[in-house]
Amino acid sequence: MRDVTVDNITDVFTGYFGKDTDPRTREIMISLAQHLHDFTREVNLTHDEWRKGLSMLEHAGRITTPERNEFVLFSDVLGLSSLVDMMHSKPDATSSSVLGPFHVSNPPPLAIGGDMKRDFEGPVLLVEGQVRDTDGNAIPGAQIDIWQTAPNGMYSSQDPDQDIHSFHGLMTADDNGEFCFTTVRPVSYTVPSDGPVGELLEAAGRHPWRPSHLHYIATAPGFRSLVTEVFPDDDPYLDEDTVFGVRKDLVMTYHTRPATEFPDGLALSGSVIEPFLYVKFDLILSIDDDT
Ligand code: BEZ
Ligand code: FE
C-alpha cells in the first residue's frame, strides 16, 4: 500500500498482518494500534510530544534493573496494573491488589505467632486471620507470604541498613487455616519518583504516596493464588493511593488494646508493655478453575 493516509493507516496496519498469526495476538495488536492511532489523531500529537514520550520510555529502559522495573511502575501509576487485577478478581474472594517490586523470593519461614518487628521502633501490631474458601471452609496449611515496609518507609531491598529478610516472612496456616504474627505498624511511603514515572507524576500534579499496607500472597493447592495488600482505615492516603491499589474489602481497622490483653504463647508474649494494635483480617481464596 503506497497510499497511506491519516485516516486509513489503521486499516493498512491490519492488512499487513500475516494470515497464520495467533488469533488472540492479532486481536490485541490490532486493537492496540487502533487505540494508539485514535489517541494520536485525537490529541493531534506533535513531533516534540512524540519524542518526549519515547525519551521517557528510553529512560525507563536505562534505569530498569531486576530490582527496579520502571515499566511496571508506569503500569502501576497509570492504573493499568490495578485495572487488570480488578477485571480478573473473583467476586466472592478477597480482591487482589498490586504486587509491587519489593517482594523477595525465598522469604524466611515465620512460625505462627512469630514476630517481624524485632528491634524496630514503633507500635506493636498483632495480626490474626484465617484463610478460607468462598464457601466459608477453612483452608488448612495455606501458605501466607507477608511483607511490608520498615518504620522508615523503606522495604528491605531499598535500605542498606536492613537485612534482605527484614519484614518478610512465610507462614503456614494451622489446621484451621488460621495465622497470627506480630509486626510494627506499617507506614505510608512514596513509590520511587526519581525516574520518568516521577516526571509523569509531577507533570500530572500528582503525589507519589501510597497508604500504609501489609502485603500478602496466599496460596493453597487447588486455589488461585491471591496477591493482595490490606490497608488501615485511618491512613491519610487511603483515598489517593498513587497506584490505585485500595479496594473496599481490603480496608481494615486497627484496635488499640492494653498491654495486659496481649495473648500468651506468641513470640512477643511477656515483653509487650505498652498498648498494642490488633487487627483480624481473613483471606478468602477462590477455586483455581484453570486446573
Ligand atoms: C508496593 O506496594 O510495594 C508498590 C506497589 C507499586 C509500586 C511501588 C511499590
Ligand atoms: Fe508496598
**pLDDT at 67 (0 to 100):** 80
C-alpha 189 to ligand 1 mean position (Å): 9
CA–CA distances in Å: residue 54 to residues 50, 75, 88: 6, 16, 30
**pLDDT at 127 (0 to 100):** 98
Query: Atom 2, ligand 1: which residue's CA is nearest?
Result: 100
As a whole-number percent, the residues of the chain with pLDDT over 90 amount to 93
The angle subtended at Cα 190 by Cα 99 and Cα 58, nearest 5°, is 75
> What CATH class does 74-285 carry?
mainly beta
Ligand 1 atom closest to Cα of 99? 5
| Closest ligand to Cα 242 | 1
Does the pLDDT of residue 126 top 70, yes or no? yes
68 or 173, which is more confident? Answer: 173
Distance CA 81, CA 226 (A): 15
**pLDDT at 19 (0 to 100):** 87
Residue 63 buriedness (CB in 10 A; 0-12 / 13-18 / 19+)? middle
Q: How confident is the model over 32-47, as a mean pLDDT?
A: 98
Q: How confident is the model over 118-144, as a mean pLDDT?
A: 97
| End-to-end CA separation in angstroms for the chain | 46
C-alpha 182 to ligand 1 mean position (Å): 22
**pLDDT at 2 (0 to 100):** 81
Ligand 1 atom closest to Cα of 213? 2
Ligand 1 atom closest to Cα of 103? 3
C-alpha 225 to ligand 1 mean position (Å): 18
Specify the residue for cell string 488469533: 23
**pLDDT at 291 (0 to 100):** 59
The overall average pLDDT reported for the chain is: 96
Q: pLDDT, tens digit, for every residue of 232-278?
A: 999 999 999 999 999 999 999 999 999 999 999 999 999 999 999 99
